[in-house]
A and B are shown apart, each in its own frame.
Chain A
Amino acid sequence: MITAGIDMGSRSIKVVLVEELKVDGAPQLKYGVKKAHIMMPGDLDQDVAAEKAYDEALVAAGIKREDVKTVFATGAGRKQVAFATEGITEMTAGAKGANFMFPMSRTVVDVGAEEGRGMKTDADGKAVDFAGNEKCAAGAGSFAEAMSRALQMTLKEFGDASLKSDKSIPMNAQCTVFAESEVVSLIHSSTPKNDIAKAVLDAVASRVCAMVRRVGIEGEVVLIGGMAHNAGFVQSLKTAMGVDSVSLPDMPEYISALGCALIAAERQN
Chain B
Amino acid sequence: MIANYGYKDGSGEYYISIDTDKCISCSADRACLTACPKQMFETITDDYDDEVTWVKKPNCRTLAYDCADCKPSAGYTSLPCMTACTPGAIKHSW
Chain A residues at the B interface, C-beta cutoff of 8 Å = 88-89, 91-92, 126-136, 173-175, 207, 210-211, 214-215, 263
Contacts and interface: CB of A to CB of B under 8 A. Distances in A.
A68 B2 CA distance: 34
Contacts, number: 54
A132 B15 CA distance: 9
B7 A136 contact: yes
Contacts of B60: 134-135
- Which 10 A/B pairs are nearest by Cβ-Cβ distance? A131-B4, A174-B10, A135-B7, A92-B47, A134-B60, A129-B2, A88-B47, A135-B61, A133-B7, A134-B61
A130 B4 contact: yes
Nearest to A120: B2
B94 interface: no
A129 B10 CA distance: 24
B1 A127 contact: yes
B1 A136 contact: no
Given A134-B60, A174-B10, A175-B10, A126 B5 contact: no
B5 to A, nearest CB: 7
B9 A128 contact: no
18 contacts: A89-B47, A126-B48, A128-B1, A128-B2, A129-B1, A130-B1, A130-B2, A130-B4, A132-B5, A133-B7, A134-B6, A134-B60, A135-B61, A136-B7, A174-B8, A174-B9, A214-B15, A215-B4
B4 A214 contact: yes
B17 to A, nearest CB: 8
Residue of A129, A131, A215, A263 with highest tally of chain B CB at under 10 A: A131
A135 B48 CA distance: 26
Contacts of A215: 2, 4
Interface in B56-86: 57, 60-61
